[in-house]
Amino acid sequence: MKTFKQNCFEAYTDSDLNEGKGHKVTIGYFTNQADAYKAVQGKGVMGSDGNVSSHVIDIKIFENYEEYIVVSDEKIKQIALGKLSEVEKKVLGLI
């Protein structure tokens, strides 16, 4: 698995273009801020411009499906273990 960070600009709008009371809808991610602003022109609430925000996103690229399954299973295991108290982990023989 390859992991890297990417600086980008998220162009987004609202799912409710009448009142702006919906959820965020991503239009796209751009490396150039000016391009992100071009993408949101006229796509916001009541024809206004949408929004742009700056992010650093983590990107994971898997070599194959099997590698993805191993990482996914490990994540599920960590979430499940996080729900147990230290006493419960000890009783189950996990520590």
Instruction: Indicate if the alpha-carbon torsion angle 63, 66, 69, 70 is positive or negative.
Output: negative
Give the closest residue to 53 by CA, choosing from 24, 10, 6, 5: 10
At 49, list the tokens.
């411009």
Q: What is the pLDDT of residue 53?
A: 98
Q: Binning pLDDT at 50, 70 and 90, where does residue 94 land?
A: confident
Q: What is the pLDDT of residue 69?
A: 94
- pLDDT band, residue 95 (cuts 50/70/90): confident
pLDDT band at 21 (very low <50, low <70, confident <90, very high): very high
What letter does residue 15 receive in the DSSP assignment?
S
Say whether pLDDT at 32 is over 90. Answer: yes
Give strand pairing partners of 22. Answer: none
In this structure, are residues 11 and 36 in contact, taking their beta carbons and an 8 Å threshold? yes
Q: Taking a C-beta distance cutoff of 8 angstroms, is the pair 79, 32 a contact?
A: no
